[in-house]
């Protein structure tokens, strides 16, 4: 089957409803089919759509890695703006959030968001949304935003993140 995608319909953009449903597909957006939970139905992807999504994910991962390299080079040159520099208090908060998230996952109380953000585990997006809201007080509506929040909170380097 190949690469798995964690894509959810963007409810802020136009989409179509399918009546009656088409083998589980209830929504359509940009030529892609989604189930009742708004999750992409990968078995409905054409080879061209699959290739386009893989390319989009590769591009997003490359952009995050490039941004991380840019920030590292600026930091080494002492050229980061004050707004870009993570304060010691921010770093401490990130370490505390990382420890809390790891403890929550270890105790079976919630999903392991760090592993999810790295692409090591697959999780239903609604569980990710709930965990992000509970742990970090942030509401996310798509995978990309969730990855960004988790990566920022847990100080995960961009090159370790999954493609959205």
Specify the DSSP class assigned to residue 46: -
**Residue 3 and residue 64 in one domain:** no
pLDDT at 97: 63
- Of 138, 161, 126, whose CA–CA distance to 8 is shortest? 126
Q: Is the pLDDT of residue 84 over 80?
A: no
Query: Each residue of 108-125: pLDDT tens digit?
Result: 567 788 888 888 888 888
Report the SS3 class of residue 82: helix
**Residue 58 and residue 14 in one domain:** no
pLDDT at 109: 64
Q: Can you tell me the distance from the alpha carbon of 130 to that of 46, in angstroms, rounded to the nearest whole number?
A: 32
Side-chain half-sphere exposure of 53, counting CA atoms within 13 A: 20
Residue located via tokens 């990566």: 151
**Residue 25 and residue 61 in one domain:** no
- Rounded to an integer, the average pLDDT of 45-52 is 90
Domains: count for the chain: 2
Q: Can you tell me the distance from the alpha carbon of 52 to that of 140, in angstroms, rounded to the nearest whole number?
A: 24
**Residue 30 and residue 67 in one domain:** no
* Domain of residue 95, residue span: 48-160
**Residue 40 and residue 58 in one domain:** no
**Residue 3 and residue 80 in one domain:** no
**Residue 29 and residue 76 in one domain:** no
- Rounded to an integer, the average pLDDT of 88-97 is 58
Report the SS3 class of residue 157: coil
Q: Is the pLDDT of residue 86 over 70?
A: no
């Amino acid at each position: 089957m190949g690469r798995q995608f964690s894509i959810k319909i963007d409810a802020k953009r136009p989409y179509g409803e399918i009546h009656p449903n088409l083998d589980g597909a209830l929504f359509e957006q940009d030529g892609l089919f989604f189930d009742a939970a708004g999750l992409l139905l990968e078995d409905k992807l054409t080879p061209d759509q699959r290739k386009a999504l893989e390319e989009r994910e590769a591009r997003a991962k490359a952009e995050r890695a490039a941004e991380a390299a840019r920030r590292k080079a600026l930091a080494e040159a002492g050229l980061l703006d004050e707004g870009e520099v993570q304060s010691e208090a921010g770093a401490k908060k990130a370490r505390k959030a990382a420890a809390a998230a790891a403890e929550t996952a270890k105790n079976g109380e919630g999903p392991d968001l760090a592993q999810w953000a790295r692409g090591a585990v697959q999780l239903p997006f609604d569980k990710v949304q709930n965990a992000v809201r509970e742990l970090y007080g942030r509401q996310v509506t798509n995978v990309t935003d969730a990855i960004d929040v988790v990566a920022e909170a847990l100080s995960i380097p961009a090159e370790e993140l999954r493609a959205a």
